[in-house]
């Protein structure tokens, strides 16, 4: 099941993924991002900072993550 983002948020995430594929994306610590999941998380975070509407994480997924830890 895929998540649906607004066009503006999808554009922001797309720009971040483009930076990732070019090898120019860096994390907050300054190190190069090598994991595509981390790049997506950065894109979602930047979209939220720009006050774009991004769907929230499902509670069942978050609950399972806590149980695994």
The tens digit of pLDDT for each residue in 20-67 reads 999 999 998 999 999 999 999 999 999 999 998 888 777 666 666 666
| Alpha-carbon dihedral angle through residues 48, 50, 53, 59, given to the nearest 10 degrees | 10
Pick 56 or 12 by higher pLDDT: 12
pTM of the model: 0.71
Note whether residue 46 is domain-resident: yes
pLDDT band, residue 16 (cuts 50/70/90): very high
Report yes or no: 26 and 33 within 8 Å, Cβ to Cβ. Answer: yes
Note whether residue 2 is domain-resident: no
Chain centroid offset of residue 34 CA: 14
DSSP track, 30-46:
SPBP--HHHHHHHHHHH
Number of domains in the chain: 1
57 three-state secondary structure: coil
């Amino acid at each position: 099941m895929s998540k649906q983002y607004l066009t503006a948020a999808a554009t922001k995430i797309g720009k971040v993924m483009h930076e990732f594929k070019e090898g120019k994306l860096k994390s907050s610590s300054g190190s190069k991002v090598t994991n595509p999941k981390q790049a997506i998380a950065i894109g979602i975070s930047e979209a939220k900072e720009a006050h774009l509407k991004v769907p929230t994480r499902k509670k069942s997924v978050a609950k399972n993550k806590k149980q695994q830890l």
